[in-house]
Copies of this chain bind each other. A is one copy, B any other.
Amino acid sequence: MGDCTAVTPLLDLAGVFVFALSGALEGVRKRFDVVGMVVLAFFTAVGGGVMRDLFIGVQPAAFRDAGYLLVPVAATVIAFFWHRQVERAMPGVLVFDAAGLGLFCAVGTTKALYYGLAPMHAVFLGVCTAVGGGVIRDVLSGQRPTLLYDRQLYAVPAMLGSTAMAVLYTLGVRGFAATLSSAVLAFTLRILAMRYGWRAPLARGISGST
């Protein structure tokens, strides 16, 4: 959702595509019909950006640009016919998901700063952009949001990427280079967290079985 940033729209739509694919696959797993698949694809992909835009107080970009609607539809078609093949490629999909996470947190933070929000709130909205769609996907598919309990570092890399973006922006480093390096930071941390099993802590004295 980079309408105010230097991220090429192509990169942005790549993030939308990966998130939409994860939503459509969740629909297949839950035996939803094609309507359920496209709803999950759309809201997983753009739900975080829609939340961010509503919280900033502007009309959500997702309802102005054809790509935000057509890309989730395309992801649904792919999942409809080739979900087995995509599931088998999941480790690869997770890498793309991490790329989407990095990109969305950087773009979301930039947009919030551009509209005059304080850095602290911009970081929060960057994280919302990156993780909000997944939370909506989980609520719609009738399960507790994975984000809240599974202890994988998912929001935390997004928060660090958003923070980097806010610092760079405040220092006057804007545009493509700043967005890309913040996105790469979040992406790298997310990949490392997956590889080494880094985990978010539970409250003191709470044992780990969910």
Residues of A within 8 A of B (CB): 27-28, 30-37, 39-40, 50, 54-60, 62-64, 66, 69-70, 79-81, 83-84, 117-118, 120-121, 124-125, 135, 139-145, 147-151, 154-156, 199-206, 209-210
Are A210's CB and B31's CB within 8 A?
yes
Instruction: A74 to B34: give the CA distance in the assembly, Å.
Output: 36
Are B124's CB and A69's CB within 8 A?
yes
Are B148's CB and A201's CB within 8 A?
no
Contact A56-B59, Cβ < 8 Å, known A31-B206, A33-B200, A142-B144: yes
Among A63, A117, A204, max chain B CB count under 10 A is at A63
* Residues of the B chain whose Cβ atoms lie less than 8 Å from the Cβ of A34: 200-203
Other-chain residue from B35, B139, B199 in contact with A140 (beta carbon distance below 8 A): B139
Are B66's CB and A204's CB within 8 A?
no
Instruction: A154 to B36: give the CA distance in the assembly, Å.
Output: 11
Are A140's CB and B135's CB within 8 A?
yes
Report the nearest B residue to A53, measured CB to CB.
B57
Q: List 12 A-B contacts (CB under 8 A).
A: A31-B209, A32-B202, A33-B148, A33-B151, A33-B199, A34-B201, A36-B145, A37-B203, A39-B135, A63-B124, A64-B117, A70-B120
Contact A148-B144, Cβ < 8 Å, known A28-B206, A121-B69, A125-B63: no
* Residues of the B chain whose Cβ atoms lie less than 8 Å from the Cβ of A59: 55-57
Are A66's CB and B148's CB within 8 A?
no
Instruction: A159 to B34: give the CA distance in the assembly, Å.
Output: 13
Report the nearest B residue to A142, measured CB to CB.
B144
Contact A148-B40, Cβ < 8 Å, known A63-B125, A210-B31: yes
